[in-house]
Structure 1
Amino acid sequence: SAADDTGDSNSDGVTKNEYNLSFDIERTSNFGAKPHIRLWRGNDIEIGACSADEYDGTCTVVVSELSEGEHYIYATAINEMGTSSARSDTVVITIDTEIEAPSEPDLTIGSDSGKETDDDLTSFHSPTFSGTGEPYARVEIINSVSAVLGTDMVASTGLWKVTADEQSLEDGTHLIFARVIDDAGNQSDLSDSLEVTVDTEAPDRMDQPQPNQNGEVSGRLVPDLLITLYNHGEEVSTVETQESGGWFFSMNELPNGENSLTVTATDAAGNESDQSPENQITMQGQGQGTFQQGQGQGQGQGQGANEAPIIDAMFGNNPNNNTWEETRDTDDAFPEFRGWGEPFMDVTLRSNGNRIGENTVRADGSWIIYPDREMHEGNQFITAELVDPNTGRVGPLSDPFEVDIHPAGSGNVMIPTTPQMYWN
């Protein structure tokens, strides 16, 4: 009957009910006023009977149980003379009482706009999710408060893809579930949840890029941003901000002649800021250039902290006495450097021009830096520079501090003293 047919329509013969199923039967007009109706399944297995009403010729057979799967149902009638009719047309009844939960939803590659394709960060309010489930079932995407965000059909392959309704996910972290509903009306349990973070707000527009005295374009923001350098609107290079938020590009990447530089910042979700104001730089040779800033001219040095910092000492293992102390000669690949500078400025330490570490100047003007990478063997000139954390502008370099590094196992062997002979 229509009441028991729980499929997409009330006449598709699909039901999730397996007990007490009602079949409505009507006699043919030429087979007597009150025939006896018999209901059959498959290979002539009788599953019920009823007597047709004398006036409208109908009756209902209630079948106590049918098993999961397809059943071929037909009816016959016996009139008052005992004559049996031919079989009625066969109807196919499908009993479907089970459905498995779909897979955990996943952001599609096109919607996962983060740095990694599986970090579940998106810059879209209406991202697309995918997964697997029962073929031809209807799949729904649901949030943690059971609101349906979008729906579609599972393909014959068992794959599905659903795009959330427009503007359905606000910025923030959300738990997303999936469930499926099959043709029989069975609704699955919820899938495992996916935690997705929606971030649609781009970083603030950056200041114009500023060259520093090291032949670099540099600045400072916050960690985990991707900085993109543009020249005349064309992308030149990208670099990630360091733990301190600092970033830099070598000006050796720029061609000789006039360059019009801008920068953008892209966050972890893939939101890119507007391009910064441009800075005109004329390159005259390898890493050398002049630039236009506002209304004035300048040489390639940023307007950062006011004074150069001072490198005061290096502490490490002295190989001559195997003691950790202040020295200019060490076999320690990660020695400690100490110095002085303007309080609360960031300080960057360099070895032969290459960055090896950074820290913040303390309130008393002192700073300590341990290299964050192993120092190379040999004689090295250590310099430091201050960076204004508010503007990203870089101050002048310190005086060079010459040290000799020869890490243990590097092959440098101490020369022994001349042997002495003693006798009584």
Structure 2
Amino acid sequence: MSAGLYNDNGSGAAVEQLQQAAAHDVAQEIALAVSIKHAEDNVGPETGNLSARQYTDDSQPTLQGAGTPNAIVKIYTERGLLGSVQVNENGEWRFTPEIALPPGVHRFRPVISHPDADNSLSGAWFELTVIAPVPLTPEIMDVRDNEGRSSWLNSGATTDDTTPTFTGFVDAPGMTILVRDHGKVTGSVEVEEYGDWTYTPNPALEAGSHSLTFEIIDSQGNVHASAPFILQITPPVSAQTAGADEQTDKIIEAAEAAAKAAAEQAAAVEAAAKAAAEQAAAAEAAASGSSASGEGSKLVPLTSQIPTIDSIHDGQGRQGLVAPGGTSDDTMPTLRGQGEPGATIVVRDLATGDSAEVKVDSEGWWAWKPVASLSEGEHIFTVVGIDENGDEYGDVSALFPINIVHPTDNGITSVTDDVGDTETLLAGAQTDDARPTLHGFGLPYGDIWIYDNGRLLGSGIINGKGEWSFTPEQPLSEGIHQFSAMSTDLFSGARTPSSPTFELEIVPVAVVPENINRRSLLQEADAPLFAEAEPALSTTQPAEPVGFVPASPSLLQTEEIVLPLY
């Protein structure tokens, strides 16, 4: 043993100190432990703690877990390291991703390490499915004028109803909607169980212009406000202001009496003139020996109200009014409009040629709903009235087109290859684009889920026309891929059956090595790589052979090889 381990007195104190230090290190080595207890959802109408394998609309959920105090926890997903956090002295830790996670399935695994531990330790996987957040902006579906002859109002309209009824929808049951008029809070309403809400101003709106907005404030303080709904209030003149005083009433009565007397006098003069004309006509007929007993046909001017289509209501999936030219997943939507009270009208679908008769009620309103589902595609509705003679009247040029998309429809229609020359591919094609863009259709405003060989690849949002596009975030492997799609209604949560598969083969990109001269290969494609020797041409006859002489006699000789013996 080296003498350096002893002190000046030659004792073994140094060795003893080293042994104590080693024992201390062994005592200080600790056992590691780590786990994810739950995740926090802080987005949308429903917030709180989530257990594993649940859905969340929070793209940055906060993971909470336990572990060895003062250790470092690294959070991994299937795509690599997401971040790290230190465990506090109580053995607790919290981690929130710095960037938003894309929609889809995410598996989180905690890995803990400590300076006093030789190895790190992995905890169990914690799986969450991130979905697109639910929009919290209240939608105004109908505004009803309840004064006099009731009607629907559009933004910018003028009404004499100081308490019109607003109805709408937002997927936030139980949350409170604040109502503002020119930015000032004037009321509130609670969202019902299925997302419906109804609001009637209280107190009544004053005469003048009003700009009403409906907003929800989420748990993070974000404001989700609707577009302003503009109304001009003009209340009817009350009976008390019709006359200023009794004298004014007397003047009005006197004027009305004078006008009535003048009208009676004029009627008497007209009657006398008519009698004289009839007498003259009779005399003329008698003189000519003819009779005026027959009556001519009478032309009755049209005074009936022209029927109209005011709205089409979608009662399936994402319910609400369908704008002209819009898309509906309700195959039996409700049409509403106005017409002459008690009249019969005809609703026609110019796209199919179908028609139906509807009776207008006593207040001048009518409603019609198809008895059978409408076919997929465009439908063009128009309406005309039927008079007492069976003749049609109305504005046949007033059309209301809509596009019907069946709620069970979803599928993949094509793929776009963006590598090299951009082209559109159909099922069964090959592509060298490892991240091709898929196109398809599904439930309008819903979610689309894309699967590759039965494994979830990702998700996206379908637009109002039922169209969607999806590009994988990571390159796909070479080989055949069987894609399928499934759409989910954003509000009811109903899912469509899986679509037919769309097959696509990913092939490698062809690469020409740089050390090969492509020009030479293309110019002489049929030329051999190695030129053959051409035989020498001779014009003389070869000499007749006289014998055979070996070119190398030594090749024909044999030698006896004697191996040395030892």
* TM-score, length basis structure 2: 0.32
Larger helix percent:
2
Q: More strand per residue: 1 or 2?
A: 1
- When Rg is computed on C-alpha atoms for both structures, the one with the higher figure is 2
